Structures are given as structure tokens and as C-alpha cells.
Structure 1
């Protein structure tokens, strides 16, 4: 239940609260709860906070790439494997011919 609440909170923050800061010709886009509009949020951040946002974004990207790389080295890749359909032994295979409905 806790994971569901955490995921819902994360999803809401990312989906409902993205906004833009324009500082010195640079555009910073991130999301967290705030007041104001998305083009003009009623708050600001320090240079250190923008640096932290950039480092955390890079960390998430690097960890994701590392996980994919390590799984590829081990021989596990991210895809769904095809499985044979489950068929009861001795049960006849039924096929249905598709046709248009009768017309009066």
C-alpha cells in the first residue's frame, strides 16, 4: 500500500505541477507542488537548487543506463519472452470463421 501511495504522489507531482523558470537566457523545467501558473510560478530557486536538480536528473539517467548495461552483460535483457499458448491435452482446437451478421 505504501508503494502505491508513493507512486501516486510521484505521478501527481510530475503530471500536475511542471513549470518553467527562465533565468539568464536558460530555461529550467522541473516539477513540484507550487502556487502560480506554469509560465510564471510564484516562487524562485537559488543557483544551488538548480545545480541539485541537474545532478539528480543526471544521477537517475546514469543509474538507469548502468542497470541496463549490467543486465546486458549478465545476459538478461528487458523484453517479454514469447510463451506457448496453454492447451488442454485431448481438447480439440476450435476455430471460428468470422462472417458478417445476417441481413433481412
Structure 2
């Protein structure tokens, strides 16, 4: 039962990511208001350069706050995890030690290249 719930959760996250990716990729557009450019994306019908809809100042403020909230939550989620789980890409750093090979004491170097 636990594995089934885990699979359903993974599928829901995949669908959520696919929806977000398609919305960001397929529907970006620009609004020009008072000489400022506002770029955002959401499903709509119309050209990207000159959208046929408009937003109020409160809607633009809501878009900015939601973007900030999502980034803050993502950063907090990455920092709250336990340090041993925070491997990200390469995993924890462990210095290499070779106890089977003695250290050389004489400074040898390769011949110069011509």
C-alpha cells in the first residue's frame, strides 16, 4: 500500500511539473504599461507580442508575490533538509586516502615538452 501511494505521489508530481513546464513554455507574453515591461505566462489565446487581455495593478502585484513565494519556499525546502541528505549533484566530499602506497620523498617530474 505504501509503495502504491508513493507511485501515485510521483505521478502527481510529474503531471504538475508537465503542466507548469507547458504553461511557462507555451504561453509567455509581455505587457507594456507606463514604459515598463511585465513578462509572465498563463494560458490565453492571442499573439505573444501584443496580448488581447490586460491585468490590473493588483494582479501584477499578486504575480510578483507568488513568484517570490515559490522561490522562497523552494530555497527553504532545500536548506531545511538534513545535512546528510543535502548531496544535490555530487554527494558528500570525502578526501581520498591511499594507505597501501607509500609517499614519494624525491621530487620527480616529467621531461619538458618540445
Structure 2 residue runs of 5 or longer lacking an equivalent are 1-10, 93-114
Tell me the TM-score normalized by structure 1. 0.66
- How many residues end up aligned between the 2 structures? 80
**Partner Cα distance (1:66, 1:6) in 2:** 20
State the match for 1:11 in structure 2.
21
Equivalent position to 1:47, from 53, 57, 60: 57
> Unpaired runs of 5+ in structure 1?
83-104
CA distance in 2, matches of 1:3, 1:79: 20
State the distance in 1 between where 2:61 and 2:28 align. 18
Q: Which runs of 4+ in 1 moved over 6 A?
A: none
Structure with bigger helix share is: 2
Choose from 28, 31, 34 the match for 2:44.
34
- Deviations 1:33-79, CA, capped at 9 Å, x for gaps: 112211101100011110100000000111111122223xx313222
Deviation at 1:5, TM superposition (A): 3.4
